[in-house]
Amino acid sequence: MDQNHFFLSGQTAVVTGGASGIGLATVQMLSSVGANVIIADVNKKKGSDISDQFKLQGKQVDYIYCDVSSENSILKFIEIINKNYSAIEILIHYAGIGLEKKFINTTLDDWNKIISVNLTGSFLMTKEISKIMISKKYGRIITVSSVAGLRGGTGRAAYGASKGGVIALTKVLAIELSPYNITVNTLCPGAIETELVKNMHDKETRRAFLEQIPQRRYGFPEEVASAALFFTLPGSSYINGTIFPIDGGFSSSGIIKNEFL
């Protein structure tokens, strides 16, 4: 088997939300197998600092500001990409925000903000990056949904709807982009220890999650990054339109009786 199927040397990846959490863990993993990485993030200081740190290690990791909820910001980002890079082979779209709020208390502003970043942002970014990939007839796109897009959960009307929308979008993209040798898959992280989750998950939320996770723990950003890496590889070429949970078994579990564990 061609060993190049499992390395990314010479490829360029865009990672949105790459300045922190799962995004940063993925940037680290992609760069470790030879990819050049572009961090797209709204946090200018953190993005620039992280890029500098990687370059000191001899890694090619650049930072470009981008607000994925703004079409103008994305178009400016793409303009910079087209001027400075010959191709984009990989897009991993992590950028997103969370909300845990009862449905009846969710305002229209809450709803619009979540949808604009999580769903509209996914649409806009994948649309523009896919144009670059189509011209080269190659690409790996990984969108990021959530177990909240697979299962109902209290306080997740807006968040769950946005992530469910990402799953539907991914399935359409997988079909429409397949003639151009572009695969599109989505990751569905469960309870992962990130800053976003720390802000969203109170003590009761954690208890409720842990009761339904067979592994009885939250995951780590590196565990999601490992799954993301797999879908970026040339050797993953026949995996397309997949909805892939990384949740310690949460989405497949039912009744869990402690005496059986």
Residues forming beta bridges with residue 142, ordered by sequence position = 92, 185
Residue among 63, 94, 138, 159 flagged as catalytic: 159
CA distance linking residue 166 with residue 172, whole number of Å = 10
Tokens of 86: 């010959």
Cβ-contact 33, 229 below 8 angstroms: yes
Instruction: Spell out the residues 6+ positions from residue 129 whose beta carbon is closer than 8 angstroms to its own.
Output: 14, 78, 88, 91, 139, 141
Measured between alpha carbons, how far is residue 156 from residues 61, 78, 123, 145, 150 in Å? 34, 32, 21, 13, 11
Does residue 159 have an active-site annotation?
yes
SS3 at position 101: strand
CB 155 within 8 A of CB 212: no
For residue 55, which of 72, 40, 38, 69 has the smallest C-alpha distance?
38
Distance CA 248, CA 261 (A): 15
Cα distance between residue 18 and residue 24, in whole Å: 5
Cβ neighbours around 227 below 10 Å, total:
17
Residues with catalytic function: 159
